[in-house]
Amino acid sequence: MSYRFQDCVSRRGVVKRPASRAMVEKELAEAKRDLDSAKNSLLESDYKWTIIKAYYSMFHACKSLLFSAGYVEKSHECLIAAIEELFTDPGLLPSTVVSDLRRAKTAREAADYGLTYGESSANGTVRDAEQIFEIISGYLAKQGFGTPSP
């Protein structure tokens, strides 16, 4: 077990809870809504909102993974540590899920708190969110969970 994940568990930043089909599917549906909203914001050249919504699409998609594994997160950093520990390190999902999520988190914080954002960052974050959604929804579909229609 990685130090970061172990630290999150000990601080209750990640908590074990029975897996919930309803919560997996609810979080994945929310990820899809946020992705669609990010794409619409991009069309309107609202780059700050695009980045924020694209990040939250990734966040909710990753939360759906944690629910499928019987965990719930209490912080963004612990969500990342848990995805890495439970899904990317064992090779169930590509490591790009974690690296893209981290990059999007940094972009979201810069847009939200530093008011630093632009078209290039917005395009990249949406592209990453689309890939993460496809990877996670594909993985969950193979595990027998319902996924939102395109």
The CATH number linked to 22 is 1.20.120.330
Q: What average pLDDT score do residues 11-18 get?
A: 94
Q: Which two tokens mark 41?
A: 């914001």
* pLDDT in the model for residue 148: 82
pLDDT at site 66 = 96
Asked if 56 contacts 34 with a C-beta cutoff of 8 angstroms, the reply is: yes
65 belongs to a structural domain: yes
Q: What is the mean pLDDT of residues 15-23?
A: 92
The Cβ of residue 119 has, within 10 Å, a number of other Cβ atoms equal to: 11
Q: Is residue 128 part of a domain?
A: yes
Chain CA centroid to CA 141, Å: 16
Percent of the chain with pLDDT over 90: 93
In a domain, 149, yes or no: no
Q: Are 37 and 101 within 8 A, CB to CB?
A: no
10 domain residue, yes or no:
yes
Higher pLDDT, 150 or 84: 84
φ and ψ at residue 15, rounded to 5 degrees: -125, 135
Task: Please choose, from the candidates 17, 24, 32, 60, the residue with its C-alpha nearest in 3D space to the C-alpha of residue 144.
Answer: 24
pLDDT at res. 147: 82
Within a domain: 147? no
Residue 29 belongs to a domain: yes
Q: Which domain holds residue 120?
A: 3-142
Q: Distance (Å, rounded) from C-alpha 71 to C-alpha 118? A: 35
pLDDT greater than 80 at residue 99: yes
Q: Which is it for the CA torsion 86, 90, 94, 95, positive or negative?
A: positive
**Is 35 domain-assigned?**
yes
d(CA 150, CA 146): 12
Residue 3 has pLDDT above 90, yes or no: no
Domain count, the chain: 1
pTM for this entry: 0.94
Please state, rounded to an integer, the average pLDDT across all residues of the chain.
Answer: 95
Q: What is the pLDDT of residue 150?
A: 62
Q: What is the DSSP letter of 9?
A: H
